[in-house]
Structure formats: C-alpha cells, structure tokens
Amino acid sequence: MKYTEEHEWLRVEDDLVVVGITAHASEQLGDVVFVELPEVPMTVTKDDEIVVIESVKAASDILAPLDGEIVEVNSPLADEPGKVNDDPTGDAWFFKMKIEDLSVLDELLDEADYNKFIA
C-alpha cells in the first residue's frame, strides 16, 4: 500500500488503483454518517474533490490522489457509510481508478513514512 499526506491509501489490484482513507483519518472524522461518491466513468486530475464524507464531527472532501479515470465506485457505502469506521482499509474503499503509469505510486509514502508523518 501507498499513502498520501491527505490520509488516503492506495492499493494496486490488477491494472487499477483502489483508493480509500486510512484508519487514522477515519478515527479523526468520528462516526461517518454520509458518503457521496462520484459518477463513473469520470476523468480526474490530481487534487480534484471527488468524494464527500460527512461525520458527526465534520464534512470532508476526498481528493483525487493521481491523474486518471475513476472506473468503479463502492456503491454500498452510500447506504452503509459506517463501514468507513468499521473497515477503512478493507471493505470501505471509495473508488477504483485507471492511471497511465503505475510508477507514479513510487512518489507516495510507504507505510513506515506514513506512520512517521502521523506521529
């Protein structure tokens, strides 16, 4: 897995990049009560706002971590937003995207660097 300073995790599955938020981000948000996912397919540029999350504490936007095309969303999250708190790095992924060059993931944080960042 790779991580961003915006507390997103990225995992490669076949030729797609799966994106969600970290357990740290989930804890900071508190109980998630609403998730708005993008329409697919959608072409995005790094840092575009693409997912809205609302919790009992705050509303947050999830940004596109890379340039690419969102090709799938985790539709069940709209009906079960609490999954973001229950399993942020598993079943509660937000979207899958296709990117041109997977080597851009090398520029992101690995787990050790992310843990130092949040310490």
Write the DSSP string, 42-107: EEE-TT-EEEEEEESS-EEEEEPSSSEEEEEE-THHHH-TTHHHH-TTTTT--EEEE-S-GGGGGG
Question: Domain residues of the chain, as ranges?
Answer: 2-103
pTM of the predicted model as reported, rounded to 2 decimal places:
0.95
Choose the CATH number for 2-103 among 2.40.50.100, 2.30.30.100, 3.30.390.50, 3.40.50.720. 2.40.50.100
The per-residue pLDDT for range 13-41, each reduced to its tens digit, is: 999 999 999 999 999 999 999 999 999 99
The per-residue pLDDT for range 45-77, each reduced to its tens digit, is: 999 999 999 999 889 999 999 999 999 999 999
